[in-house]
């Protein structure tokens, strides 16, 4: 079976967006026009309700064996999303050059396809990547490129970490100082934890609301849901620097705080006041207008209680609400926004610390401190996204020793990620049904640009994507040798996409920061 300049594209009802993507991406790479039309030489796109009933909206069937009477290629999906994932498989079959921005081969090339039928569907409905743009800002075009890379790996959730102590990255029109002040820091610590090195250049940036709308629309065209994260009540020094009244000003001189220029757990947290609640309700009103996703992430992690313990205002709030302690005060804070979001048809999700002090019934949990939080949440009837740092934090080092650029955290190799299992053994079937899926997390303390993000994320994201999509054997029984063999073809796709991945042999000199040798970082977790 072959595609050439005379191959038409026959897009059935509901597949118009997929056809638009196919013409723009595969059309650019192959030079083929994919003009509208039907007939026996066509690429035909169809939504099939039968596939949805059998496999869900993301299931698909791809046939290139010529058995379809009126098409050379038939891609059918349970919904448009399934058709889109089927087209991603078609792209894989066309070879690495199908991932380029323009034709690399001779003019008039015929694109050969093997004759086969693929029937496929994802294991999980949440297959995500979290990208932190607060520690190091990533320009809009780089974010759009990340969405293309997610789509190529059939990942469908982009968790967008937009606010933290080190920067506020989203325009909020009613609170302009969040970006006027909160989006820039004076300097940046180079390294992690105990590193003594500093980059004295100011660092910052933010996305306008039109930028956000563009990112969300671009993702939607690729059947990716963008889940925004606005951190409360911890990880909030950038917001407090912009609006000091948000902090615990009765125990801290919040007017003197600047956007934080280092890493770690910050003691400066939001005050549990009505002023803070009304401020963030205004923030979330604008966020909901920009992001149509069902879920909104509120962080909720790493919130030290020391200031609340010393604050007369916080202690008075605990007494007023009849709470037992500061943990319950944080739970009250989380529950407030859970109700607020639920009243507007949305669902709250937060890191597993939101379990402390009690969790609102409709809230979901991102389990990052291992499996335990996710297991507890699922057994209690809460939906869970499994993202344990010991397995799928892609900022962690990929090999032992000091060859890795700024090596931090646990050693997690490509094989380790391939053997990750999102549903832990022993979880009851009822609890396992609450595991929405899994995501890999990319924190950018030591990733100062796109190339460093590429290096940390790839090729491990390919292993993660297969785990998130496929029904694989138990971790010990997975055929990693076969995966490595298949990766030889995938590396050529990544080359065509311009991804600066970590090569199988280890880092090349150009992937190390000039003048800053890779070395173990004091205080990092052990190599386990």
Spans of all domains in the chain: 2-120, 126-472
Which helix H or strand E contains 494, and what residues bound it?
helix 480-497
Which of the following is catalytic: 235, 382, 396, 490?
235
The catalytically annotated residue of 52, 301, 302, 328 is 302
* Parallel/antiparallel/unpaired status of strands 384-386 and 435-442: parallel
Domain 2-120 indexed as CATH 1.10.490.10: no
48 classed as catalytic: no
- Mean pLDDT for back-to-back runs of 10 residues, the chain (528 residues): 94 98 97 94 97 98 81 96 98 97 90 96 98 98 98 98 98 98 96 78 98 98 98 98 98 98 96 98 98 98 97 98 95 95 97 86 93 95 97 95 84 97 94 98 96 97 98 96 97 98 80 38 30
Q: How confident is the model at residue 516, as a pLDDT?
A: 37
Among the listed residues 437, 462, 475, the one whose alpha carbon sits nearest the alpha carbon of residue 56: 437
CA pair distance 158, 131, nearest whole angstrom: 8
pLDDT at 375: 96
CA–CA distance, 412 with 489 (Å, rounded to integer): 22
112 φ, ψ to 5°? -80, 140
Element (H, E) at 75: strand 73-77
pLDDT at 509: 54
CA distance 166 to 357: 27
- Provide the pLDDT for residue 518: 33
- Identify the active-site residue in 76, 132, 164, 383: 164
pLDDT number for residue 194: 64
Q: Is 136 a catalytic residue?
A: no
- Indicate the burial class of 477 (C-beta count within 10 angstroms; 0-12, 13-18, 19 or more): exposed
Rounded to an integer, what distance in angstroms lies between the CA atom of residue 154 and that of residue 243? 40
Helices (H), 172-256: 177-180, 209-221, 237-242
Q: Is 302 one of the annotated active-site residues of the chain?
A: yes
CA–CA distances in Å: residue 512 to residues 409, 451, 454: 17, 10, 13
DSSP, collapsed to helix, strand or coil, labels residue 220 as helix
CATH architecture, domain defined by 126-472: Alpha-Beta Barrel (3.20)
């Amino acid at each position: 079976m072959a595609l050439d300049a005379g191959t038409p594209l026959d897009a059935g009802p509901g597949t118009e967006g997929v056809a638009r993507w196919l013409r723009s991406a595969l059309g650019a790479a192959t030079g083929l026009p994919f003009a509208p039309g039907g007939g026996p030489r066509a690429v035909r796109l169809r939504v099939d309700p039968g596939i949805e009933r059998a496999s869900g909206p993301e299931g698909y069937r791809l046939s290139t064996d010529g058995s379809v009477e009126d098409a050379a290629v038939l891609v059918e999906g349970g919904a448009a999303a399934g058709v889109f994932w089927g087209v991603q498989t078609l792209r894989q079959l066309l070879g690495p050059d199908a991932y380029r921005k323009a034709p690399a081969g001779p003019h008039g090339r015929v694109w050969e396809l093997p004759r086969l039928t693929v029937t496929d569907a994802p294991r999980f409905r949440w297959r995500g990547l979290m990208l932190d743009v607060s520690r190091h800002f990533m320009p809009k075009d780089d974010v759009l490129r990340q969405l293309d890379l997610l789509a190529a790996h059939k990942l469908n959730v982009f968790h967008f970490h937009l606010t933290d102590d080190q920067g506020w990255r989203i325009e909020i029109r009613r609170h302009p100082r969040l970006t006027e002040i909160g989006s820039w820091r004076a300097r940046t610590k180079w390294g992690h934890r105990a590193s003594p090195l500093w980059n004295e250049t100011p660092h910052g940036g933010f996305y306008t609301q039109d930028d956000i709308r563009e990112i969300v629309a671009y993702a939607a065209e690729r059947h990716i849901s963008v889940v925004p994260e606005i951190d409360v009540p911890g990880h909030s020094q950038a917001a407090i620097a912009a609006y000091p009244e948000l902090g615990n000003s009765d125990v801290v001189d919040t007017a003197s705080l600047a956007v934080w220029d280092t890493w770690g757990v910050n003691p400066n947290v939001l005050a549990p006041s009505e002023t803070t609640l009304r401020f963030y309700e205004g923030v979330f009103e604008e966020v909901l207008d920009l992001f149509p996703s069902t879920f909104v992430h509120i962080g909720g992690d790493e919130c030290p209680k020391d200031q609340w313990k010393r604050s007369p205002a916080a202690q008075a709030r605990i007494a007023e609400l009849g709470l037992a302690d500061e943990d319950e005060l944080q739970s009250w804070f989380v529950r407030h926004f859970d109700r607020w979001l639920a009243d507007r048809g949305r669902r709250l999700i937060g890191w597993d610390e939101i379990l402390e002090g009690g969790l609102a019934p409709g809230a979901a949990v991102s389990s990052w401190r291992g499996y335990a939080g996710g297991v507890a949440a699922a057994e209690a009837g809460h939906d869970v996204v499994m993202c344990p740092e010991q397995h799928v934090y892609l900022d962690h080092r990929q090999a032992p020793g000091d060859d890795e650029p700024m090596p931090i955290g646990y050693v997690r190799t490509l094989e380790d990620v391939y053997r990750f299992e999102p549903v832990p053994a022993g979880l009851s079937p009822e609890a396992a049904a609450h595991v929405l899926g899994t995501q890999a997390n990319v924190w950018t303390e030591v990733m100062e640009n796109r190339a460093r993000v590429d290096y940390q994320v790839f090729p491990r994201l390919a292993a993660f994507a297969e785990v998130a999509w496929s029904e694989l054997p138990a971790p010990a029984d997975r055929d990693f040798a076969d995966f490595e063999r298949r990766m030889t073809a995938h590396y050529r796709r990544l080359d065509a996409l311009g991804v600066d991945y970590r090569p199988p042999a280890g880092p090349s000199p150009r992937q190390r920061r000039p003048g800053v040798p890779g070395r173990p970082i004091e205080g990092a977790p052990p190599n386990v």
